[in-house]
Structure 1
Amino acid sequence: MKKVNGHQIIQLFEEFSPKGLAVEGDPVGLQIGRLNQTVQRVLIALDVVEEVVDEAIDKGVKLIIAHHPIIYRPLKTIQTDQPAGRVIAKLIQHDIAVYTAHTNLDVTEGGVNDLLARQLELTDTKVLSQTAEDRFKKLVVFTPKSHENELRDAMAEAGAGYIGAYSHCTFTSAGTGRFKPTIEADPYIGEANQLEEVEEVRIETIIYDSIEKRVIRAMEKAHPYEEVAYDLYEEARPGKQLGLGRVGYLQKPMKLREFIEYVKMKFDVPALRYVGNPDAEVKKVAVLGGTGNRYMNAARFSGADVYITGDVEYHTAHDAKMMGLNIIDPGHNIEKVMKAGTAEEMKVRCLESNFDVEFIPSSINTDPFSFD
């Protein structure tokens, strides 16, 4: 396995959680430090507080990937004798970079909201509020007939060719490729300054915009030619919906009072707030990590029996009660599911890329609230 720097790790991370998925104005990306250094250990954290920074120092971490921005609003001063300034100074002194993935990690497939839905074991999940679309593209590549199977397999393994419940979807047509290598070329087939004709195939497949770089990288690696001839076409048909929150179904209905205990157990919280009738039946569930007040109507119109989100405001709770929507507020900190989930996602991706990197979920509980 090969040693890598922070840039290579973040490039791989952004294939999983592109910055472009973040809502407008959300501070995402590198916030402190540098990426041009070798990184062997990455800490995955919900919040970057001083205890988390100390944990990173103890474990020899050079990069923290956090969900909540350490710098949310522009700073006018950094006073190192104050708590916030002290944390920033400690990070700089120990050359630890902080990269933030906030609403983009909420939106992306396999991100915070999918992890919350999986924790609740919801089935048939859909996006609660669409904010983006993962568009279809058609990828066309030309290759010698001798390499068509190898190329098709490489692209499919990278995620190309998924249409609904079908994978490895491609179309192949035969033809003749013509080219003349220049004197500077190092051709796989042919001689310099001689026009060459090769029996080639045209392979067509479908990819999502989000995996374009990964598929092209796999295609180029498997292709025998020095210069690969390929085309990308935008598809007119709708792509995959992406957005905030998820809506899905419980494996079996239960009363709200039972479901409350289920939520406490699944999210490992000692207490929570709720609005609604304890005897109401719960089958369809909407869940949105973080503060979800503005998506109350989306939860209602989705037909959910209950809406789980954090930091519900007093007046929003009144509105929900009047509209007959049950609410459960287990706190903002349930987003801690992103620590283990993101670490596992990146571990798999780095193994596929032969990167020698360890991803460590932070063990620090950063919930500022206590219950008595």
Structure 2
Amino acid sequence: MKTQVTVKDMVKLLEEIAPPQLADDWDNIGLMLGRSDRPVRRLLLALDMTEETVKQAVEYKADMLLTHHPAIFHKLGRITDAGWQQELLLQLAEKGVAVYSAHTNLDCVAQGVNDSLVKRLHIADDDVLDTNTGLGRIGGVEPCGLSEFAAFVKAALRADYVVVGDAGRTVKRVAVCGGAGADLAELALAKGADTLVTGDVKYHTAQQAVFSGLNIIDAGHQATEWPVLEDLADRLSLRFAEKNWNVVLKVAQETLLLRHV
């Protein structure tokens, strides 16, 4: 007979996978909404709490929504229907849907955001890029030109587009950081990378990196983080089976916020 699971049980499991102590001090992670004793039979995974993913959670009859980006980041002085974020929280509360967020702790943990990137981009013999924070990964790829590798990145991450900064170097040793990791460019260079794959790269940051000898591939914030959802879903499904938990899950379909038109 399958074991019934509560929000509290699910939180415990999620904290085993992405320990909260790994999160940055400025971050807001953990259970954002919901009663700990409520049952969880259906779980929806998403990068963000948006109108799109909340609608899917309601239609899926999810008991819990797991997001990567914090559903509540800045302190809320009130929860009304005056703002889009508050409105979505109200909708979820009214439907009894709990919300849990794992952000920077999922970024840096083993088998988290960056290890998913490593796997999708076929990076071998990888190691942690920033050993102080656990962020980023660095390793080797089959040598190729930047244009060829950028096309591979775009396809592998199902990105709408990639933006490339060409430092004139053959791609051999690649650093990655899901989301916004351009501030790791100097460290990537110091560790022997010729190319950095990340998202949200600003112009002057790219200029400094490229003129210092580092190729840049900006594949977008969402595209560099989506892979972890599929991998996390697989891991959770295995854990549910091992524990004989009566929980099913799915990954939400999310539209790219920023697209080429």
Deviations 1:92-115 (A, max 9, x none): 111111101001001111111000
Indicate the SS of the match to 1:130.
coil
* Partner in structure 1 of residue 226 of structure 2: 336
Contact 2:114/2:177 (<8 A) preserved? yes
Give the letter for the 2:188 counterpart: A
- Determine the C-alpha separation between the residues in 1 that align with 2:180 and 2:195: 16
CA distance in structure 2 between the aligned counterparts of 1:360 and 1:106, rounded to whole angstroms: 20
Q: Distance in 2 between matches of 1:52 and 1:6?
A: 19
Distance, in Å, in 2 between the alignment partners of 1:126 and 1:325 is 18
Equivalent in the alignment of 2:170: 281
Aligned partner of 2:137 in structure 1 is 246
Q: Deviation per CA, 1:70-118: give whole Å up to 9, x if none.
A: 1111123333043222111101111111101001001111111000110
| CA distance in structure 1 between the aligned counterparts of 2:184 and 2:78, rounded to whole angstroms | 35
1:322 counterpart = 2:211: yes
- Greater mean alpha carbon deviation, residues 291-300 or residues 329-338: 291-300
Pair member with larger Rg:
1
- Residues 62-211 of structure 1 mapped to structure 2, 5 A cutoff: 62-131=63-132
User: Aligned partners of 2:217 and 2:23: how far apart in 1?
Assistant: 25
Per the normalisation by structure 1, the TM-score is 0.68
Which of the pair is proportionally richer in strand?
A: 1
Secondary structure of the corresponding residue to residue 13 of structure 2: helix
Corresponding position of 2:146: 256
Identity %: 36
TM-score w.r.t. the length of structure 2 is 0.95
Equivalent pair of 1:339/1:362 in contact (CA under 8 Å): no
Letter in 1 for 2:64: L
Within a 5 Å distance, the mapping from 1:17-96 to structure 2 comes to 17-96=18-97
Q: Is the 8 A contact 1:350 1:356 kept in 2?
A: yes
For 1:56, the aligned partner's letter is A
Question: Separation in 2 of the partners of 1:68 and 1:285?
Answer: 25
Distance 2:33 2:77 in 1: 15
TM-superposed CA distance for 1:23, in Å, is: 1.3
Equivalent residue, structure 1, for 2:183: 294
The C-alpha deviation readout for 1:308-366, integer Å capped at 9, x for no partner, is 1110111111111221111110100120112211111111112112212112111232x
Query: Where does structure 2 lack aligned partners over 5 or more consecutive residues?
Result: none
CA distance, structure 1, for counterparts of residue 27 and residue 252 of structure 2: 23
SS at match of 1:131: coil
The residue type equivalent to 2:222 in the other structure is N
Aligned partner of 2:240: which letter?
C
- Provide the rounded CA distance (Å) in 2 between the counterparts of 1:87 and 1:99: 14
Q: Deviations over 1:193-238 (max 9, x none)?
A: xxxxxxxxxxxxxxxxxxxxxxxxxxxxxxxxxxxxxxxxxxxxxx
Shift in Å, 1:51: 1.2
Asked if 2 retains the 8 angstrom alpha-carbon contact of 1:259 and 1:282, the reply is: yes
- SS of equivalent to 2:201: coil
Q: State the match for 1:346 in structure 2.
A: 236
Q: Give the helix-richer structure, 1 or 2.
A: 2
Across the two proteins, how many residue pairs are aligned to each other?
Answer: 259
Distance in 1, matches of 2:57 and 2:152, equals 33
The answer as to whether partners of 1:52 and 1:364 remain within 8 angstroms in 2 is yes
Structure 1 stretches of 4+ moved >6 Å: none
Once residues 108 and 169 of structure 2 are traced to their aligned partners in structure 1, the CA distance between those partners, rounded to angstroms, is: 30
Contact 1:46 1:338 survives alignment (8 Å) = no
CA distance in 1, matches of 2:78, 2:206: 37
Change (3 A) 1:31 1:131: farther
